[in-house]
Amino acid sequence: MTIDIFLQILVGGLLLGGLYALVAFGLSLIYGVAQILNFAHGTLLAVGGVAAAAIFAATAWHPLVLIMLLVPVFLVFGFYFYRTMLRPLMGRNHFEYMVGSVLVTVGALLILSDFAAWLAGPSPKNIPVEFEIIELGEVLVTTTQAYILIGIVILTVILHMFISRSWFGRAMRAVTQDHVGAAICGVRASWVHAGTFAFGSAIVAIAAVLYTMLFPVDPYVGLSLTVKAFTIIILGGIGNLVGALFAGIFLGIAESLTSFFWATQWAPAISIILLLVILVLFPRGFLNRRSQ
């Protein structure tokens, strides 16, 4: 393998990993704050991608317009999904809360997937945007790939600053560290949980549009994306967005190399293999820390 081929694979892996990390951001925040294993998280991306592709096919709106359209919809959906379906479980003990949240989110996964397939059909959808080719020596990069990769990095920085410096970000960290102390200070944990679930869902809306611009999406791809997100969370650390970005890039490059050297159909298995290896070798997590 020449250096040019390796760099071409590296570019594809960076882009794929950045999108995986973007999916994992919301899931990491939801689990870190509300302690919910949201198995429907990846399915939200699939539904958002199918919806964005359908709207683009009907209107030819710019992807930024699609993002601005889907973000508030997902924000409201995430907020009321938590308030109506998950918040009632908080009165149960810890075991019942965890099992109940898994059952609710798995049920949502099945319902949302079938609903999207009923609306738009089970065939893969994408957003066919026009792009130009940028030649970097023998390495070819499209303008769409460059814009998306730059956008992911900028979005990561913005989210990190928002969580670190905003009132809502401080409230999330306070509830995560000590919900009783946060309540004494006037922070209502249930509203922070709902807001975090809504915030994580809104991030998925952005990822859905970007992902569908590069890869076809069908209504049933959500579970595999959720597994990849869980792998990234374990590798990068719960609530650590920068760690999630690097973990996502690592996973994306690993999948790209697997596709090139072995077979494309084995690339999705890499996330499962990495997850099992991490759980066996690092049962408390690869980076056993939360964002402070």
- Range 48-71 average pLDDT: 92
Instruction: Give me the pLDDT at residue 47, please.
Output: 93
- pLDDT of residue 288 exceeding 70, the answer is no
Instruction: Give me the pLDDT at residue 215, please.
Output: 87
Of 44-58, 68-82, 156-170, 229-243, least confident by mean pLDDT is: 229-243
- Residue 12: name the closest of 140, 151, 130 by CA: 140
Reported as a pLDDT band with limits 50, 70 and 90, residue 209 is: very high
Q: Which residues of 55-70 are buried (b: 16+ CB within 10 A; e: fewer)?
A: bbeeeeeebeebbebb
pLDDT tens profile 107-126:
999 999 998 888 888 888 88
Cα-Cα-Cα-Cα dihedral of 12, 17, 23, 28, to 10°? 180
Mean pLDDT, all residues of the chain: 84
d(CA 206, CA 220): 19
Find residue 141's DSSP bridge partners. Answer: 134
pLDDT tens profile 134-162:
777 777 778 888 888 888 888 888 888 88
Q: Phi first, then psi: give them for residue 126, nearest 5 degrees.
A: -150, 170
Find residue 139's DSSP bridge partners. Answer: 136
d(CA 43, CA 11): 26
Of 88-92, 105-109, 269-273, least confident by mean pLDDT is: 269-273
Write down the residue that tokens 């609306």 correspond to: 119
- Residue 52: name the closest of 38, 65, 33, 37 by CA: 65
Task: Write the CB contacts of 179 (distance below 8 Å, at least 6 apart in sequence).
Answer: 189
Task: Quote the longest CA-to-CA distance of the chain.
Answer: 61
Instruction: Give me the pLDDT at residue 287, please.
Output: 54
Q: How many CB atoms lie within 10 A of CB 30?
A: 26
Higher local confidence (pLDDT), 125 or 74: 74
Three-state secondary-structure class, residue 217 = strand
pLDDT tens profile 151-193:
888 888 888 888 888 888 888 888 777 666 777 777 787 888 8
Of the CA atoms within 13 Å of residue 290, those in its CB half-sphere come to 15
Burial grade of 88 (CB within 10 A; 0-12, 13-18, 19 or more): exposed
Let me know: does 207 contact 19? Beta carbons within 8 Å.
yes
Domain ranges of the chain: 26-221
Find residue 217's DSSP bridge partners. Answer: 125
- pLDDT of residue 89 exceeding 90, the answer is no
Give Cα separations from 247 to 25, 72, 106, 158 (angstroms): 11, 28, 25, 18
- Residue 21: name the closest of 149, 198, 144, 169 by CA: 149
- pLDDT of residue 239 exceeding 90, the answer is no
